[in-house]
Amino acid sequence: MDLAFTKEEQAFREEVRQFFRDNVPPDTRRKLVEGRHLSKDEMVTWWRILNKKGWGVSHWPKQYGGTGWTSVQHYIFNEELQSYPAPQPLAFGVSMVGPVIYTFGNEEQKKQYLPRIANVDDWWCQGFSEPGSGSDLASLKTKAERKGDKWIINGQKTWTTLAQHADMIFCLCRTDPSAKKQMGISFIVFSMKSKGVTVRPIQTIDGGVEVNEVFFDDVEVPIENLIGEENKGWDYAKFLLGNERTGIARVGVSKERIRRIKDLASKVESGGKPIIQDAAFREKLAACEIELKALELTQLRVVADEGKHGKGKPNPASSVLKIKGSEIQQTTTELLMEVIGPFAAPYDVHGDDGSNEAMDWTAQIAPSYFNNRKVSIYGGSNEIQRNIIAKAVLGL
């Protein structure tokens, strides 16, 4: 057992950090620190910088543009990225559909899609959840019927993150209505510009528009847009969801937010002195930092285990990451709320345009608190995670 990173790993961390210092546009970083939303252009600009460096799809196999890093290097890269902070690669393309395509797709599909994912020439979104299919995803109803050399797609997806920017969607569709629910599902990709696709924004409680409803009315999709085998889509979906086990803890994000809490708490006064000098507040913050340290160690255990023994058999500790990671992210946003107190209230009707300088320093804190309630819901709600632990780990 050894906690220390090797000299090479430390040098790698320095290299990554330096690259971020030199290349992340300062305005992009500032917006992330303040919890603001980024424009499509700001995100794509950064991702292309990253891709040019060869780090856009770092965890892909080398032949498709990956880096060949060790799992510890991936961990370091992610931690530095999250805590600098810089925008994380677009998960829907890079972490989700990309690996499905290079694992189950044919040569033609690999050639067609992978480079465009890496350079974000196509912005991808995920068509999984439906109004009636949340935690019970396999009950989904969106249909793809084969008609000649086309799929005809009808139905509705929801919670489709950033679909308003999307060029492409990967979609779970029912292709065999007579089969048992997990069995008759296929994994089909298509253009969001297709005739019959309608995107309707959903405004969330923080006032932002991150998610959408997406409607399909007789959308015609070429038959070759099926990935892998027909009716095997559920297997690919499980593969996709199991692929990103360690990033979900978002330790770097919480670290960055704790630094922000400390920064604000040393400026905002309560009882005539900075809040950071209040013993009760400090202890609450320390409690959160200790939880985060424990999570970081749990994550390192999973990373080290994957590095040594491969990803085949998930470490039982990995199921802790989603639950604790989301709880801690939420706690950090609660602590920010506590720091700014009554100044949490003003609502910046102008959004993120910077026109309301007076409240700039607090304007995004309440929205960020509201927005972060999502992290214990998405990606398999924490209740679903507890079901998974009970069944897969404890054998209940």
Partner 1 sequence: MDFDLTEEQRLLKDSVDGLLTDSYDFESRKKYMNEKGGWSKAVWGKLAEQGLLGLPFAEADGGFGGGGVETMIVMEALGKALVLEPYLATVVIGGGFLRHGGSDAQKAAHLPGIIDGSRTLAFAQLEKNSRYDLFDVATSAKKKGSGWVIDGEKFVVLNGENADTLVVTARTKGDRRDKTGIGAFLVPAGAKGVTKKSYPTQDGLHAADITLTGVEVGADAAIGNPEDSLALIERVVDEARVALCAEAVGLMDESLKTTVEYIKTRKQFGVAIGTFQSLQHRASDMFVAAEQARSMSMFATMASDFEDAHERSNAIAAAKVQIGKSLKFVGQQSIQLHGGIGMTMEAKIGHYFKRLTMIENTFGDTEYHQRRVADAGGLI
Phi and psi at residue 384, in whole multiples of 5°? -65, -40
Q: Considering the rule CB under 8 A, would residue 292 count as an interface residue with partner 1?
A: yes
**DSSP single-letter state for residue 276:** G
Q: Name the minimum Å distance from CB 10 to partner 1.
A: 11
Q: Considering the rule CB under 8 A, would residue 81 count as an interface residue with partner 1?
A: no
The single residue among 217, 283, 345, 355 that binds partner 1, judged by CB under 8 A, is 283
| Sole window of 52-60, 214-222, 304-312, 341-349 interacting with partner 1 (rule: CB under 8 A) | 304-312
Give the footprint of partner 1 on residues 93-152 (CB under 8 A): none
The single residue among 297, 345, 350, 354 that binds partner 1, judged by CB under 8 A, is 297
Residue 75 vs residues 9, 79, 251, 303: alpha-carbon distances, Å:
10, 6, 10, 7
Residue 380 vs residues 104, 122, 137, 384: alpha-carbon distances, Å:
23, 26, 10, 6
| Residue 297, phi-psi category: left (phi > 0), alpha (psi -120 to 50), beta (remainder) | alpha
DSSP string, 303-366: HHHHHHH-SSS--TTHHHHHHHHHHHHHHHHHHHHHHHGGGG----TTTTSS--GGGTTTTTHH
Cβ nearer to partner 1, comparing 140 with 320: 320
| Sole window of 98-106, 299-307, 336-344, 356-364 interacting with partner 1 (rule: CB under 8 A) | 299-307
Q: Name the minimum Å distance from CB 285 to partner 1.
A: 6
Q: Considering the rule CB under 8 A, would residue 326 count as an interface residue with partner 1?
A: no
Q: Considering the rule CB under 8 A, would residue 290 count as an interface residue with partner 1?
A: yes
Q: Considering the rule CB under 8 A, would residue 11 count as an interface residue with partner 1?
A: no
Q: Considering the rule CB under 8 A, would residue 205 count as an interface residue with partner 1?
A: no
**DSSP single-letter state for residue 37:** P
Q: Name the minimum Å distance from CB 228 to partner 1.
A: 32
Q: Considering the rule CB under 8 A, would residue 393 count as an interface residue with partner 1?
A: yes
Q: Report the DSSP pairing between strands 143-147 and 185-191.
A: unpaired
Give the footprint of partner 1 on residues 351-390 (CB under 8 A): 383, 385-387, 389-390
Cβ nearer to partner 1, comparing 167 with 327: 327
In sequence order, which residues have a C-beta less than 8 Å from that of residue 66 and are 6 or more positions away?
57, 58, 59, 60
Q: Name the minimum Å distance from CB 24 to partner 1.
A: 21
Q: Considering the rule CB under 8 A, would residue 323 count as an interface residue with partner 1?
A: yes
Count of other CB atoms within 10 angstroms of residue 223: 13
Assign 3-class secondary structure to 163-207.
Answer: HHHCCEEEEEEECCCCCCCCCCEEEEEEECCCCCEEEEEECCCCC
Cβ nearer to partner 1, comparing 153 with 258: 258
| Sole window of 5-13, 30-38, 104-112, 154-162 interacting with partner 1 (rule: CB under 8 A) | 5-13
| Sole window of 54-62, 159-167, 301-309, 357-365 interacting with partner 1 (rule: CB under 8 A) | 301-309
Written as one letter, the residue type at 351 is G
Q: What's the CA gap between 387 and 186, in Å, rounded?
A: 26
Largest CA distance in the chain: 75
- How many residues in the shown chain lie near partner 1 by CB under 8 A? 49
Taking only Cα atoms into account, the Rg of the chain, rounded to an integer number of angstroms, comes to 22
Cβ nearer to partner 1, comparing 217 with 283: 283
Which residues in this chain contact partner 1 in the complex, by CB under 8 A?
Answer: 1-6, 9, 72, 255, 258-259, 262, 279, 282-283, 285-287, 289-295, 297-298, 300-301, 303-305, 308, 316-317, 320, 323-324, 383, 385-387, 389-391, 393-396
